[in-house]
Structure 1
Amino acid sequence: MIAGGIDTTTASVTWAIALLLNHRHVLRKAQEELDRCVSRDRAVTEEDIAKLVYLQAIVKESMRLCPVGPLLNPREFTADCDVGGYRVPKGTWLMVNAWKINMDADVWADPTEFRPKHIDVKGQNFELFPFGSGRRSCPGMNLAIQMVLLVLASFLHVFEISTPGDKPVDMRESVGLTNMIAASLDVVVNPRLLPNI
C-alpha cells in the first residue's frame, strides 16, 4: 500500500506545481492565503490544512485536470444489468475512464481550464472521483489527500517559485499506469521565509 502511494503522491504534487506555474495568478492567491492563515513567522503544520480552503480547491482541480490514475481499477459485473440502454452480461469487466468523466463538457464549463473549485473528491460526487468510489475506493485516500496538501502547502509557503526564463511548463503526459508529467519540471526556487523558519 505504501509503495502504491509513493509515485501517485509525487505525481499529484508535481502536476499541482506545474499547473500553478502556468497560472501564476492562482499561485499568488494560494500564497496570499498561506500568509493570511499561517503567517510568515512559522512553518505550515498539519493543523493549518483545514484553514487553507483555496489550496484544497487547487489540489482538487489538479486531480481533475491531471488524474494520476486516469483509468480506475477494473470491476467485474456480478449480475446481468442494463447501463445506459446497453445490456451488460454478468462477468463483463468494466474499466472506468476517470479522465473522460473529468473532461465532460456537460458537467464542467470549459473542462480544460484550470479553475480551482470546491468539490468532494472522496467518491460521493460522481463528476470527480480520483480515488474511485464505494467499498473498492483507494484505501490510502485520506492519507494521500493530507500528504499532497501538506507537501504543497509547505513548498509554496517556504519558496517563491518560477520557471527558468518564466517559460510555460510543458504539460505533456507520460505513458504508464501512473499519469506522470513527461518532461522534467524545472523550477527556480527562492526563499519566501527567513532561514530560521
Structure 2
Amino acid sequence: MMKSLLSSLTFNIIMRMVAGKRYFGDDISEESRRFRKIIEDSTKYAGAANAADYLPRVLSWFGMGYELEEIGTDTSSVILEWAMSNFLNHPDVLKKARAEFGDEIGQKRLVDETDLHKLPYLQSIISETLRFYPATPMLLPHLSSTDCTIGGYDIPRGIILLVNAWAIHRDPMLWDEAESFKPERFMNKSNNREGDDGGGGDGFNKHMPFGLGRRACPRIGLAQRVVGVTLGCLIQCFDWERVMEDEDIDMSEGKGVTMPKLVLLKAMCKAGPIMNTVLSEFANATYY
C-alpha cells in the first residue's frame, strides 16, 4: 500500500525537524510507534467533534511541534497519494511530467527543492490535485472577529466559520471543466495562487487548499517542498503502472478532517536508470 510508505516518509521528514532524529527503519523504537499512533488517532478522530473544544489544551501540552507533526504528516501523505492516483489514471499527464524532468533535470542527479521553480508542470499537477482533492476539504475553523456580511449572509461576531473549499474548487461557475483533472489550467499564472488578484481576474482567490490571508495554514511552504520533492523523485526514479492495467484507480473519497482515499492506492513500479546513480551515492554516503 502506498499510503503506509508515504506516511512513513513524511513522518520521518518532520520528526527530523522537530526531534532531530529518525523515526523510520528496521530499528525504530517503541517511542516512535506510540507517537505515530497518537498522531494517527488524533487526525482520525479530530472530526468527531469541534476541534476547537480540545485543540488549545493539546497544544498547551505538546507545543507547536505537535501541531506541525499531526497536521503536516497526514496532509502531505494524503496529497501525495491523491497526486499519484491522478497521474496513474492519466498516463498523458505522467508522460508530460517525465518529459519535463528529462529537459530540466536529466538523469545524472536527483531533483531537490532548488529545482522546483524550473518544473512548472509538476507544480501544476500538485495544484490541480489540491483543487480536486483538497487535503482539508473544510479548511480549519475560523472565528469571526467582527460582524460582517458574506455573500448576502449576516455573520455575527464570535461565530465559528467553516469554509467548504471542496465545493469552491469544483464550482463550474469558477472553473472550466470543473470535474476534469487538468493540470494545464495552472500553467497560466493568473489561475494560480500567486496571481496578482489571486483568482484569474475575478477579484478573489478561488484556489484555497491552505486557506487565505493572514490566517492561512503556516505549513504551506513546508508542504509545497515536501510534496514537490517527493513527487518529483517518485516520477524521476520509477516507471509507474496501475496494478490492473485495464481498470482505473478508484478515486472514492474517505472521511475525516483530512480527506483520505477510501480505497488505498496500490501501484507497480520499475526502477529507472537514475536509480543506479542514487544507490551508488547512498552506498558511499556517510551518516551521522
TM-score (norm 2): 0.65
Say yes or no: does 1:196 pair with 2:281: no
Bigger fraction of residues in helix: 2
Shift of 1:78: 2.1
**Aligned mates of 2:76, 2:98 — CA distance in 1:** 21
Specify the structure having the higher radius of gyration (Cα): 2
Say yes or no: does 1:151 pair with 2:223: no
- Name which of 101, 104, 108 aligns with 1:37: 104
The code of the aligned residue for 1:193 comes to: P
Unpaired segments ≥5 residues, structure 1: none
Q: 1:149 to 1:19 in 2, by over 3 A?
A: same
Q: 1:86 to 1:46 in 2, by over 3 A?
A: closer
Say yes or no: does 1:168 pair with 2:248: yes
**Aligned mates of 2:237, 2:168 — CA distance in 1:** 35
The code of the aligned residue for 2:269 comes to: V
TM-score (norm 1): 0.94
- Name which of 221, 229, 236 aligns with 1:142: 221
Match of 1:85 in 2: 152
Deviations 1:102-154 (A, max 9, x none): 01111101101010132434794421011111111111101101110100000
Shift of 1:172: 0.6
**Aligned mates of 1:58, 1:105 — CA distance in 2:** 20
- Counterparts of 1:108-147 in structure 2, within 5 Å, are 108-116=175-183, 117-118=185-186, 119-121=191-193, 124-125=198-199, 126-147=205-226
**Aligned mates of 1:47, 1:36 — CA distance in 2:** 16
CA RMSD of aligned residues (A): 1.5
The code of the aligned residue for 1:32 comes to: A
Deviations 1:153-180 (A, max 9, x none): 0000000001113121000111111101
- Counterparts of 1:33-72 in structure 2, within 5 Å, are 33-72=100-139
Match of 2:80 in 1: 13
Aligned length: 197
Say yes or no: does 1:102 pair with 2:169: yes
Shift of 1:82: 2.1
**Aligned mates of 2:118, 2:90 — CA distance in 1:** 22
Deviates more, 1:73-82 or 1:119-128: 119-128
State whether residues 163 and 188 of structure 1, in contact with CA within 8 Å, keep that contact through their aligned partners in structure 2: yes
Shift of 1:85: 2.2
The code of the aligned residue for 1:82 comes to: T
The code of the aligned residue for 1:191 comes to: A
Shift of 1:196: 2.7
Secondary structure of 1:82's aligned partner: strand
Say yes or no: does 1:181 pair with 2:261: yes
**Percent identity between the two aligned chains:** 34
Unpaired segments ≥5 residues, structure 2: 1-67, 200-204, 279-288
State whether residues 108 and 277 of structure 2, in contact with CA within 8 Å, keep that contact through their aligned partners in structure 1: no
Flag the structure with more relative contact order, 1 or 2, with Cα contacts below 8 A and sequence separation at least 6.
1
State whether residues 76 and 94 of structure 1, in contact with CA within 8 Å, keep that contact through their aligned partners in structure 2: yes
